[in-house]
Structure 1
Amino acid sequence: MLLLVFLLVLSSLIIIRARIRFRSYFLEEQNKYRDLQYYDETLRRNFKDLNFKEELLGSEYENITTLYEVTKDISKTLNMDEVFHTFRGILKNSMDIDDCVLTSSFDKKTKGDYPFTFPLDLGKNDTRALFVKGMRVEDKDKFIILANQFALVFKRAQLYRTIQELSITDSLTQILVKRYCMVRFNEEFLRSERKKLNLSCLMLDVDNFKDYNDRFGHLVGDVILAEVARMISDSIREIDLLGRFGGEEFLLILPETDKQEALFVAERIRKTVVERVIKAYDEVLRVTLSIGVTTFPQDGQDTNELIDRADRALYQAKHVGKNRVCLYSPRQSKG
C-alpha cells in the first residue's frame, strides 16, 4: 500500500515537473516567435525606408541630371536672348509648362496672365522676373532650382555684354571707339562693294574746339564733345555708324546712301548743332561743325581713300569759313 502511494506521488511529481518544463519551453518559444515577428516588422519597415530613400535618391539624381543638362545647354551662348530662349525650351520639355516669359516684375498685365512669378537677382536696378503659367504644384521646387541656375548664367551673359560694350564704346561720348568703328566700316564697305551699293563717309570736326578748351577748361570741353556726339546720334538711323575718330573729330558711315542723300544728312546735323545751346557747368555755349563728305564708288575704292578724301573735304570746309559742309572734289588737297 505504501509502495502504491509512493508511486502515485512520484508520478504526480514527474507530471508536474514535465508540465513546468513544457510551459517554460512554450513560453521560450513564444518569446522567440514574438522576437521573430518584431524582427520581421523591423525588416519590413527598413525595407520601406530603403525604398523611400531609393526614390528620394532617384528624384535627386533626376534633379541633378536635369540641372546639369540645363546649365550645359544655356551656357553654350553668351547672348542673353538666346540664353532665355534655350531655358524656356527646356522648361517646356522637362516640366511641360504652358509658357514662361522674362519681363519686369512690375508688369501688371503679365502678372494677371501668368499665375506664378519668380523674381530674379540680376543686379541692383534690374527688376525682371520669370512669369510662368501651366506649372504643376509638385514641380515648383524643381523650377526654383532651375530658375536660380538660369539667373547665374543670365548674369554672366549680362557681364559679357557690358564688357563687350566697354571695349567698343568711347567712355566720354558713348559712341564707337575708332578701332571698332573701322572694323564695322570695312564690313559695310565689303557689303556695299559686293552688292554694288552706295556708301557715304562723313568726317565731322568741332570748330575752334581748342579755343573752348583753353578758355573754359577741359571739363567744359568734355561736355561739348559728349553733347555733340549725342546730337549727331539723334540725327541718324540705327544702321548708321558713328565713331570718335580722335580728339574733337567724328567719323560717320552711312550705308546705302548716295552723295546727295549724304549731303542732306550732313546739313541736317550741322543745323542741329548750330541751333542747339550746350550747358556745361556754369557756361552756356553754342558750337558749330565743319563736315567733309565722300561717297563710294565715286570718291574712293577702299575705306582709307574714302576717309582721306573726306578729311580733305573737311579741311576745305574749315578753309572757306567753317560751319559748313563740303563734298569731296578731286581738286581739293591738303596744305
Structure 2
Amino acid sequence: MSADASPPTPAEVSSPGSMLTRASSITRALDQVGDKWCLLIIQEVFWGINTFNGMLEATGVSRGVLSERLKWLQKIDCLRKAPDIKGRRGGEYHLTRKSIGLHATAMMAIAWERRYFRTPTLDAVKLKHTPCGHVFTPSMRCRECDAAVDGRHVSYGPGVGATRDTRIKKVRRRSSISSSIVPSDRSIYRNLVDIVGDRWTANVIALAYHGYSRFYEFHRELPVATNILSDRLKVLEEQGVFGARAYQERPRRFEYYLTEKGWDLFPYFLTLLQWGDQWCDEENKGRPMSLEHSLCGSPLYGVVRCDHCDEKLEPYSVDITLN
C-alpha cells in the first residue's frame, strides 16, 4: 500500500476555531455521521423506531442530546420529520435517500462485529437475503475483478477534487458512555460504534490505512489537541485495533500499526468513503481521492454482496432477525 501521491502538509489555520486540511470524503462523512449517538439513532430508524420517545427508550441517551442529534440529522438531510398528527405531538422521523445510502456501511459493520465479538445475542442474528432466500454473511468485493477487498492491496492518489476543506476544531466530546449499556437489543454493532463513534478516533484509523504511523504524522493531518490525539491512540491500542512498538528510546516514542482487527475494518471505511463521495461533496468538486486495486490495476469501488448468490445487497433486500 502506498501513501497519498501528494506530500503531507501541516493543517493550516483558516479562521479562529477552524483549520484547513486535506479534502477527504471519509472526513466529510465522519463530520456528518461519525458520532456515536447519530449512528445509534440511524440504526434504530432503520429498524422502524421513529418517534422521539421510542428512540429515547431504545438508546438511553438524555432528552437534550437526542433532541440535538435529531436536529443535526435533519439539517444534513439524513432524517426528515413528518408533520405532527392532530392530537399527537412529536411527529415521526424517517430515513432519506441519503441515510438509506448507509445500508452498505451497516452491512460491513455487522460483518466486522460478528467476527470479533461473539455473544449469544450476536450469534442469534440472522441476515436473510430476500431475493435468494438464504441466510448470508455480507462480503465486500472489487467491482472490476470480484476479489475480496483488503486494504493492504489498495493504493491512493489525488482525485479531481483534491483541494482543502475547512474543519471546525471544537467538536463534541467523545462519549464516556459505553454502547454496552444501550437498552436496545437491536444495536447489533455496538462494539464498532464504541470505537468509530468518535470522529477523531475514526480519522486516526483512516490515516493509518494511508501509512501514517507516528504521533506527529497524525497530528500534522488532524486539527486536534495533542491530549485528545494521545487519548484516541490509547483507545485504539486498548481495543486491539492498533499495536505499538518503540522506534526511539530517548525520549521513548512509539509508532502504531494496524492489527488484523484493524485491517478488517477497511471495508467499513471504504463504504463511508464511497458514501461521502456521493453525498458529502457539497460544492460538486469531484472525488478528492482516487483508489486503485493493486490486484487488478483498476480503480477500486467496493460492492457489498451476498456470499450465497453473489448479488449486490440493495437496501430493503435484507431481513434481519434476532432469534
Name the structure where helix makes up a greater proportion of residues.
1
Larger gyration radius, structure 1 or structure 2: 1
Same fold by TM-score, threshold 0.5 exceeded? no
Question: Could you say which structure has the greater relative contact order, defined with CA pairs below 8 angstroms and 6 or more residues apart?
Answer: 2
For Structure 1 versus Structure 2, the TM-score category normalised by the shorter chain is under 0.3
Q: Could you state the TM-score of these two structures normalised by the residue count of structure 2?
A: 0.19
